Structures are given as structure tokens and as C-alpha cells.
Amino acid sequence: MKKTALFLSIAAFLGAGSYLIYGVNEHDQPSPKENAAKKSDISTWVYHTKVPEDYIWKIHFDHGLNKNILSDETAYVLDNENKHVPVRLQSGDSGTLTIKPPKEGYKKGITYNLYTDRDLDKEFIGDEKQPKLYRIQFTVSKSGA
């Protein structure tokens, strides 16, 4: 009985000590965006450098584009400060997504991230084995070419 009480006391002491040393800090909590898409849920396709300011992205989905969910929440561009960039989305034929730059163009020398939701690709709708988001990172040419 005394050994059990001693063991439980030690376990409680270690647990409380661990919490105090490694406790959860409210500032260490992930942001809502980080919760929505953890790093393991994002797949990076490719990095592009020297992209022109007025570059138009065309992404083709072999099995078709899910137009029902196409919005600025399922296809978007973030700048180097993680702020949304006002791009314009268009769906052409059944399998192509066109992402036009902001009216003023992308800023020279800045790196951007273009994200597309897995469920835009009809082949992977709801497929939890696939990453939730796909990312294309690109840097705009400083010379504009």
C-alpha cells in the first residue's frame, strides 16, 4: 500500500513538473489557418523563379475541375506576409483553372504561394490519402521579365 502511494505521488509530481516546464503557452497555439492546413496537409508541387508580374497560371486537372467549390477559399495566392492577393479565378473547359494576377500585377522580387484545394480535382474529392492543399511557390522577377 505504501509503495502504491509512493508511486502515485512520484507520478503526480513528475506530471505536474512536466506541465510547468513544458506547459502549453497560449502564444504557441497554431493560428486558425495553420489548424485548417497543417504542414503535412500541404504538398508543394514546384518552385518557380523569375515569373513575370502579369503571369497567368493555368492548372489543368486531368479528371476535371470541380467548379462547384471554386472560390477564393479553394484557390488563392498569399504574399510573403501571408496576406491574400486579389487574383481573379476563371474556369475554362472542364479541366482548366485560370488564375489571373491582380490588376496592378504581382510585385517585383516578392515570393508568393499559390494554393489549390485537393477537392478542386475531381479525381481526389474527399480522398484523405492526398494532401488537403497543393502549393506552387513563385518569385516575381525583379526585372519584370
Total domains in the chain come to 1
The verdict on pTM exceeding 0.85 is no
Domain limits for position 118:
40-140
- Is position 62 within any domain? yes
> What is the mean predicted confidence (pLDDT) over 114-137?
95
Res. 39: pLDDT tops 70: no
Grid-cell match 486537372, residue found: 61
- Is position 4 within any domain? no
- Is position 6 within any domain? no
Task: With beta carbons less than 8 A apart as the criterion, state whether 94 and 56 touch.
Answer: no
Task: With beta carbons less than 8 A apart as the criterion, state whether 106 and 85 touch.
Answer: yes
Res. 40: pLDDT tops 50: yes
CATH code for the domain in which residue 55 is found: 2.60.40.3710
Grid coordinates belonging to 37: 492546413
